Amino acid sequence: MRKRLIPCIFLKNGLIIRSENFKIHQIIGNPVTEVARYNDWAVDEIVYIDISKDSNYDFRRDDHKYKDDIKTKFDLIREVSKVCFVPLAFGGGIRTIEDIRKILHSGADKVVLNTILFINKNFLKEAIAIFGSQALVACVDYIDNFVYHSHSTVNSKISVLDWCKYLENEGIGEIILNSVQRDGKANGYDIKTIKEVVDNAKIPIVALSGAGDYFDFVECFQEANPSAVAAGNIFHFKELSYYHGKQALLSSNIDIRQELEALKVD
């Protein structure tokens, strides 16, 4: 399979935010209008992670045409999916099988799981039996090689490698490795941990957190060899960043999914 470059969009109460260390959150945009830009860039896929701690969705603009229509994350997914023409994954606040069903029925292709996998150890097998491994992704948030959950406030005391092995054995379809310490820091990916997990996994591993420039994408693929590299802030704040990211990868002979000529750069 060709490598993927994935924009990861963090949401809080319905708005796109810039995140740093999972603690500093700066509002930077609207998730429905933003997805049109990613379509123009011909991105490989999009991951939305909702970090809201409550169910209050508010675009904070009375004139916005979606304000009265979007009151829950399921409403948001439905609106996003109407204008999203690439694979869409969505995660955040999932606690029941019905949550997964609603997310998929609202238009997402995959569902990203995290805290519920610690709360209910039977949940993953039940979900796989109903929806299949291909529809389920685990996001592994970690600090100093230990996996955290509940908005990175609870240390599970389980190592990253052990947790990833457990998830693979349980049947998860894909894993996103998310370094909390590198979130928003733009200081490069955690190559050592990513490589360790990739070398011991047979399922796709997605590297997230740390991208500061396009060379970070190249370095991560060359040194750790994940199935995909994901990033957030670099795609929000740099002009034509996805195009230039793909260009850097092609120039470094990384076997990425889409040809550069397919990208719209006007």
Q: Provide the H-helix boundaries in the chain.
A: 31-40, 73-83, 97-105, 116-119, 123-131, 160-170, 191-199, 214-224, 233-237, 241-251
Q: What is the CA radius of gyration of the chain?
A: 17
The interaxial angle of helices 73-83 and 31-40, nearest 10 deg, is 30
141 is catalytic: yes
How many Å apart are CA 102 and CA 252, to the nearest integer? 41
Query: Using CA atoms, how far apart are residues 136 and 46, in angstroms rounded to an integer?
Result: 15
CA 19 to chain CA mean position, Å? 13
The span from the CA of 160 to the CA of 86, in Å, is 30
The residue to which tokens 């600090």 are assigned: 143
Residues in the chain: 266
Give the integer Cα–Cα distance in Å for 168 and 158. 15
Catalytic residue among 44, 99, 141, 216: 141
If residue 174 lies in a helix (H) or strand (E), which one and from where to where? strand 174-179
Residues 6+ apart with CB under 8 A from 98: none
Q: Tell me how far apart the alpha carbons of residues 146 and 60 are, in angstroms, rounded to a whole number.
A: 37
Residue 34 · residue 59 · CB < 8 Å? no
Catalytic residues, by residue number, are 141
